[in-house]
Amino acid sequence: MVSVKLFGALRLRSGLKEYQLEARNLTELFSQLAELSSHTGMEQVTVRELRSCIISINGKQCGPRHALRDGDAVVLLTPASGG
Protein backbone atom coordinates (compact mmCIF):
# COMPACT_ATOMS: atom_id res chain seq x y z
CA MET A 1 0.00 0.00 0.00
CA VAL A 2 1.26 3.46 -0.85
CA SER A 3 -0.45 6.71 -0.07
CA VAL A 4 -0.75 9.31 -2.81
CA LYS A 5 -1.81 12.93 -2.61
CA LEU A 6 -2.32 15.38 -5.42
CA PHE A 7 -1.93 19.14 -5.30
CA GLY A 8 -2.10 22.04 -7.70
CA ALA A 9 -4.30 22.83 -10.65
CA LEU A 10 -4.45 19.16 -11.66
CA ARG A 11 -6.20 18.24 -8.43
CA LEU A 12 -8.85 20.87 -8.99
CA ARG A 13 -9.31 20.00 -12.62
CA SER A 14 -9.53 16.25 -12.13
CA GLY A 15 -11.03 15.96 -8.67
CA LEU A 16 -8.28 13.49 -7.67
CA LYS A 17 -7.30 14.20 -4.07
CA GLU A 18 -5.78 11.43 -1.98
CA TYR A 19 -5.77 7.66 -2.10
CA GLN A 20 -4.26 4.48 -0.63
CA LEU A 21 -3.30 2.27 -3.55
CA GLU A 22 -1.49 -0.94 -4.27
CA ALA A 23 1.35 -0.22 -6.72
CA ARG A 24 4.93 -1.41 -7.26
CA ASN A 25 6.11 1.56 -9.23
CA LEU A 26 4.96 4.98 -10.35
CA THR A 27 3.81 3.78 -13.76
CA GLU A 28 1.33 1.42 -12.11
CA LEU A 29 0.24 4.15 -9.78
CA PHE A 30 -0.36 6.57 -12.63
CA SER A 31 -2.54 4.18 -14.59
CA GLN A 32 -4.65 3.54 -11.50
CA LEU A 33 -5.02 7.26 -10.92
CA ALA A 34 -5.94 7.87 -14.55
CA GLU A 35 -8.60 5.17 -14.21
CA LEU A 36 -9.87 6.68 -10.95
CA SER A 37 -10.17 10.11 -12.55
CA SER A 38 -12.83 8.81 -14.94
CA HIS A 39 -15.12 8.34 -11.94
CA THR A 40 -14.78 11.75 -10.31
CA GLY A 41 -17.24 13.41 -12.66
CA MET A 42 -14.62 15.97 -13.59
CA GLU A 43 -11.97 16.10 -16.29
CA GLN A 44 -10.20 12.83 -16.96
CA VAL A 45 -6.42 12.98 -16.69
CA THR A 46 -3.96 10.98 -18.74
CA VAL A 47 -0.94 9.01 -17.58
CA ARG A 48 1.16 11.46 -19.55
CA GLU A 49 -0.15 14.39 -17.51
CA LEU A 50 0.56 12.54 -14.28
CA ARG A 51 4.08 11.75 -15.45
CA SER A 52 4.62 15.49 -15.96
CA CYS A 53 3.85 16.31 -12.36
CA ILE A 54 6.50 17.25 -9.88
CA ILE A 55 6.82 13.98 -7.98
CA SER A 56 8.04 13.47 -4.48
CA ILE A 57 8.33 10.22 -2.56
CA ASN A 58 8.66 10.50 1.21
CA GLY A 59 9.60 14.17 0.86
CA LYS A 60 12.28 13.57 -1.79
CA GLN A 61 11.86 14.68 -5.36
CA CYS A 62 12.28 12.00 -8.00
CA GLY A 63 11.66 11.14 -11.63
CA PRO A 64 8.59 9.37 -13.03
CA ARG A 65 10.19 5.91 -13.29
CA HIS A 66 10.80 5.34 -9.62
CA ALA A 67 9.98 2.09 -7.85
CA LEU A 68 7.67 2.13 -4.83
CA ARG A 69 7.86 0.36 -1.53
CA ASP A 70 5.11 -0.49 0.89
CA GLY A 71 4.23 2.54 3.01
CA ASP A 72 5.70 5.14 0.66
CA ALA A 73 4.04 8.56 0.64
CA VAL A 74 3.79 9.94 -2.89
CA VAL A 75 2.97 13.57 -3.60
CA LEU A 76 2.10 14.74 -7.12
CA LEU A 77 1.96 18.42 -7.85
CA THR A 78 1.51 20.56 -10.92
CA PRO A 79 3.87 23.54 -11.09
CA ALA A 80 2.64 26.82 -9.74
CA SER A 81 3.94 30.34 -9.58
CA GLY A 82 2.86 33.88 -9.00
CA GLY A 83 2.64 35.70 -5.72
CA 68 to chain centroid, in Å, comes to 13
Q: What are phi and psi of 74, to 5 degrees?
A: -100, 135
Q: How far apart are CA 83 and CA 66, in angstroms?
A: 32
Length of the chain: 83
Q: Is 4 in the site for other proteins (CB under 8 A)?
A: no
Q: Smallest gap, in angstroms, from Cβ of residue 29 to other proteins?
A: 15
Q: Is 82 in the site for other proteins (CB under 8 A)?
A: yes
Closest to other proteins by CB, 22 vs 58, is: 58
Give contact residues for other proteins (rule: CB under 8 A). Answer: 7-9, 11-13, 51-56, 61, 63-64, 75, 77-83
